[in-house]
Amino acid sequence: MRIAMIGGGYVGLVSAACFAEFGNQVSVVEIDPDRLAALRTGRIPIYEPGLDTLVADNARAGRLSFGSDIADAVTGAEAIFIAVGTPPRNGDGQADLTYVHQAARQIARAMGDYAVIVTKSTVPVGTSRRIAEIVRETRPDLDFDVASNPEFLREGSAIGDFMRPDRVIVGLDQTAPDGGARARAVLSALYRPLYLIEAPVLFMALETAELTKYASNSFLAMKISFINEMADLCDKVGANVHDLSRGMGLDGRIGRKFLHPGPGYGGSCFPKDTLALTRIAQEAGAPTRLIEATVGVNDARKVAMAGR
């Protein structure tokens, strides 16, 4: 299958290399000239174990290429992935969709035959439908579907997470005349190698897929804030939080991951996604008080740790 990946950052590059490893023809669009030059010469601008070898092998085999022209990448592609940045807006925590909307317009201008436009970036609920609106406004004549396929990659184990995932989430436009059947057929074929290892590929509504990414990361952040509150309580009552963590984590209903006390969560995902989810919930009139508390506990934890 021919695939276009719009965005050669962390998510786009890992996804493109793994799709190429599945045997697909993948064209990555990267507009940053320095990053593009590095990719074309085999220098990977991010660190991820095994990624340099995976990129080099598939580029050498002719399955993975890099360019700056969306039209070249999109021509003949059956699936077009948007994997551009969605940084938080200053002040309100909502995702900035400027690059996503820009990519949608550029894709629409370049498209020819039918393709599925797939959002890989982490985006608020309703973004996939907005992408469909932008494409129709730009090119009313186009034959296309939209889908949501959020990533669940962990830094340091991203290739394994992609190749052997806990699950793959795919959102379809179930209100389309065919109920999303044509898009489902394309993405089922794309993920066929994962069916062979019995990895769950879950098809659902667009909105559900978009929300699943935020809900998953926010739940993990909540576990971190919970164990940090337990650490504070252990200090007060003379208990050992590490023994408590093991005692809880061996319960299969709870699990051991993300139950390690420390300075709180950080990085590029959890802070952004928890704030975005609280914003989405507030705008929908269904505030997520647990997630709001999670953010508050995390902020307080960092201040407390800095003062020790």
What's the pLDDT tens digit per position in 34-72?
999 999 998 998 899 999 999 999 999 999 999 999 999
Instruction: State yes or no: 226 annotated in a binding site.
Output: no
Residue 259 is given by DSSP the state -
Are the beta carbons of 199 and 176 closer than 8 angstroms?
no
The answer to whether 292 is a known ligand-binding residue is no
| pTM reported for the whole predicted model | 0.93
Per-residue pLDDT reduced to its tens digit, 99-142: 999 999 999 999 999 999 999 999 999 999 999 999 999 999 99
pLDDT at 267: 85
Cα distances from 267 to residues 160, 206, 221, 264, in angstroms, run 20, 27, 11, 10
Q: What CATH code would you report for 2-199?
A: 3.40.50.720
- Residue extents of the structural domains in the chain: 2-199, 213-306
Percent of residues, the chain, with pLDDT higher than 70: 98
CATH assignment, 213-306: 1.10.1040.10
Whether 18 sits among the annotated catalytic residues: the reply is no
Q: Is 202 annotated as a binding residue?
A: no
**Helices assigned H by DSSP within the chain:** 10-21, 33-40, 51-60, 70-74, 98-110, 127-138, 158-163, 181-190, 192-195, 206-237, 241-249, 270-284, 289-306
| Average pLDDT of span 195-207 | 96
Let me know if the fold of 2-199 is the same as that of 213-306.
Answer: no
For 270, the token pair is 């959890």
Say which of 269, 275, 280, 281 is annotated catalytic.
269
